[in-house]
Structure 1
Amino acid sequence: MINNSFEFSSDDDSDVSPHDMEGNSSDLEYGARDMNGLSLNSYSSGLQAQLQRDLDRQHLLSDRPRAGVYENVISEGVEGIEHQERYERLLRRAQVEDLSEVSGIGCLYQSGVDRLGRPVIVFCGKWFPAQNIDLEKALLYLIKLLDPIVKGDYVISYFHTLTSTSNYPSLHWLREVYSVLPYKYKKNLKAFYIVHPTFWTKMMTWWFTTFMAPAIKAKVHSLPGVEHLYSAITKDQLEIPAYITEYDMATNGLHYFNPVPTAS
């Protein structure tokens, strides 16, 4: 940028011919210096280089949706642009590839809205065959389902009911998923409910949200039974498999919780 102290005068001595300066080395030498004693040629070169960098950056950003890029840069630094590019590639794949292998399992789906009108995403841990599924396709299906939803506020209900070690994906994969998903997923997630957690689940949740996903730590809530969800989600908006309600009744009994609607 041009220094503010470098000003152009309106009195340009127009009566002086440009040819009058030819052969006047002292005038040329003086004219080649600004008030700080810097070479005008080097100043011009530096200015051109800066302008070119600005143009290159503008061209780079113009090819992407501004909101997504800016949010990523703010939240993750310069790596946000690379993450956005990677996510957009995965989103394009998710829209064209056959993901029926994953969608047919029924472990991940939208189930109505909560008391504040926010979409509820249900994930049934028991139905997720982590050891016998293409995890890349699982990620693509997750992106295909959630991308149009996470543009606004949303909540997730994860049911850990009757899961086993065969349902647990590796921490490496979970970290990969978390790093791929852009800022809007974390920002617009308002609550993550874990129903029927075990000691292992609580420990892993603490570790994951402390060291890998601190941005969502305050949004995670462990609930001992389904009816605890009714404070945030009405019963008619929560569609869950029968095995979950049967386990819940066998473990907690009938009507063990009187929900009080809250605004969170």
Structure 2
Amino acid sequence: MPPANPTRLLASSPEYKGIAQLNIIYEAGLDSESRPILILCANNLPNPATIDYDLILTDEFVENDYVLVFFSSPAKYRPSWLWLLKAYRELDRRYKKNLKALYAVHLGRSYRMIFDLANKITSPKFARKLRYLQRLDELKQLIQVPENMIPKAVIDYDMDLPILPTTFKLNSVTPMPTVSLAFGRSLQDLASLEGWSLDSNPPIPHVVRQLVDHLRGRGIDKEGIFRKSPASEELRMVKAKFNYGDPVDLNAHDVDVSAALLKVFLRELPTSLISVEQSAELGKLLLNSSTSTVQTIFAHKPYALALLRYLMVFLFDVVQHSNINKMTAHNLAVVFTPNLIRIDDPVNNNQDYAAIPSTQEGAMATAALYLKQMNQGISLVEMLITSHCILL
């Protein structure tokens, strides 16, 4: 029997760690607007006869804007509708506010009724963030979740579904150019297009300079800068203008647009600013356990080193205003690390990890590897911000 009146668990407790290992909820990279993607997998829910579901209601979500993908099927064990309503009510307000989109995949009709009822009773605004999706193909049109981060049981379930007519439609979005003049291009290409070189002062793409200048002028004192997301349509519109080469007056937009676009620019570079291998070498250098130099580590990526230097100096300046903006070096590292560090894969730049696992255990191991790399990367980026002079 489950324990009576369970108490909220601490992250350091053995019970919490045991539940965390079930991978009921885990991170799966970033969406196209550089917001963290969280996966909630019903198939990983434990037997309620052995673990009280109340213990799963922890506070370990995220404080930044994020999106949530809920894989509701298959599921051997399903929580009661009363528990779902309780869980919804107990979520702290900031987590509901920071949730920008919820994609519920393979959700049955009865559970849809529960979700709709909860939204009507407690939060009509939240209902606008919820999207019901029948198939994984529909999810792929809205958000790019690495396939190796989707549990195999969910993929198998999707493949066994009958093909039925769908009413799914994409929201109207600002069209993107076939050839971009700003985002998604290599730094070398941008240098050639824009007429700057490594000898320029600074040797930085025009779009980055414009975004940083705007942030220095109007956003460096804003509380939570880089944590909040602007309206998606506004972000796409400004990004499209940069890509078409149209003039952009950033002063006509909130600084959250510039903050988000800076992260998106870094995320969409064909080659990461810092590879996983370079991350390890930089870590050794900062700990004085390596004879390598920064120039040696970035010998084959001099443009990346130039941009990294520029970015770390700027983020250091942001930290100097942390008494106002509340963005410490650690907070900035949490936000920027997923955009800076990833595995460089020349074959498929959208895959940040290994090949698609063939088992559920393999998929969970991939999620654990991603989390481990991000935690290590956060420590590195925090040190680079506070000790940015090592890059100069």
TM range (shorter): 0.5 to 0.7
Quote the offset at 1:117 in angstroms. 1.1
Distance 2:33 2:70 in 1: 19
In structure 2, what residue type is equivalent to 1:227? D
In structure 1, what residue type is equivalent to 2:57? L
Out of 108, 128, 131, the residue aligned to residue 25 of structure 2 is: 108
1:15-164 alignment runs, 5 A limit: 93-98=9-14, 99-129=16-46, 131-132=48-49, 133-140=51-58, 143-144=59-60, 146=61, 149=62, 151-163=63-75
Compute the TM-score of the two structures, normalised by the length of structure 1. Answer: 0.54
Root-mean-square deviation (CA), in Å? 2.9
Quote the offset at 1:177 in angstroms. 3.0
Quote the offset at 1:194 in angstroms. 0.7
Distance 1:130 1:221 in 2: 28
Distance 1:174 1:258 in 2: 28
Change (3 A) 1:227 1:193: same
Whether 1:228 and 2:145 are equivalent positions in the alignment is no
Quote the offset at 1:130 in angstroms. 5.8
Distance 2:56 2:154 in 1: 22
Deviations 1:118-166 (A, max 9, x none): 11111111221362322232112xx22x1xx2x22111111111235x3
Distance 1:252 1:260 in 2: 25
Change (3 A) 1:260 1:227: farther
In structure 2, what residue type is equivalent to 1:103? A
Structure whose CA Rg is larger: 1
Change (3 A) 1:235 1:105: closer
Distance 1:260 1:187 in 2: 22
Change (3 A) 1:202 1:230: same
Out of 175, 178, 181, the residue aligned to residue 88 of structure 2 is: 178
Q: Which runs of 4+ in 1 moved over 6 A?
A: 256-261
Out of 107, 110, 114, the residue aligned to residue 204 of structure 1 is: 114
CA contact (8 A) 2:29 2:145 kept: no
Where structure 2 has 5 or more consecutive residues not aligned to the other structure, the ranges are: 1-6, 174-231, 234-392
Where structure 1 has 5 or more consecutive residues not aligned to the other structure, the ranges are: 1-88
Deviations 1:231-259 (A, max 9, x none): 23224377111111112122256xx9998
Deviations 1:88-115 (A, max 9, x none): x95xx52332212211222211111111
Change (3 A) 1:124 1:191: same
In structure 2, what residue type is equivalent to 1:159? F
* Aligned length, in residue pairs: 164
Q: Counterpart of 1:15?
A: none
Distance 1:122 1:161 in 2: 13
CA contact (8 A) 1:111 1:237 kept: no
Change (3 A) 1:103 1:177: same
In structure 2, what residue type is equivalent to 1:161? S
CA contact (8 A) 2:104 2:132 kept: yes
Change (3 A) 1:168 1:137: closer
Whether 1:244 and 2:154 are equivalent positions in the alignment is yes
Compute the TM-score of the two structures, normalised by the length of structure 2. Answer: 0.37
Change (3 A) 1:102 1:229: same
In structure 2, what residue type is equivalent to 1:211? I
In structure 1, what residue type is equivalent to 2:159? M
- The alignment-based identity, stated in percent, is 25
